[in-house]
């Protein structure tokens, strides 16, 4: 998982807490996150939650990635079985 603030992995729990708070009020680097995930070998992105904004953005950033959106348990299960 890459964090939106700096598009890098983070394992330290205290740093993760800080980053989670910072993404509320700091600009996020979604393009860098998608590109970083792709360069690390990700092939499928699954957006969890209402709406499909990140799904659409991800498709525009890297058309080589499969991007799925889920908004309930049934659609998540469907996405997980389709990959």
Q: Where are the domains of the chain?
A: 43-82
Give kind and range of the element (H or E) at residue 34. helix 30-39
Distance from CA of residue 7 to its chain's centroid? 10
pLDDT tens column, 5-42: 999 999 999 999 999 999 999 999 999 999 999 999 99
Task: Name the nearest CA neighbour of 47 among 32, 64, 21, 65.
Answer: 65
Q: What share of the chain in percent tops pLDDT 90?
A: 93
**And the tokens for 40?**
């690390």
82 confidence band (pLDDT: 50, 70, 90)? confident
């Amino acid at each position: 998982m890459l964090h939106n603030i700096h598009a890098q992995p983070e394992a330290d729990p205290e740093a993760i807490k800080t980053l989670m708070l910072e993404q509320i009020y700091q600009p996020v680097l979604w393009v860098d996150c998608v590109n970083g995930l792709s360069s690390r070998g990700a092939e499928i992105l699954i957006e969890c939650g209402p709406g499909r904004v990140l799904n659409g953005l991800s498709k525009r950033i890297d058309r080589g990635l499969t991007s799925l959106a889920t908004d309930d348990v049934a659609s998540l299960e469907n996405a997980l079985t389709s990959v």
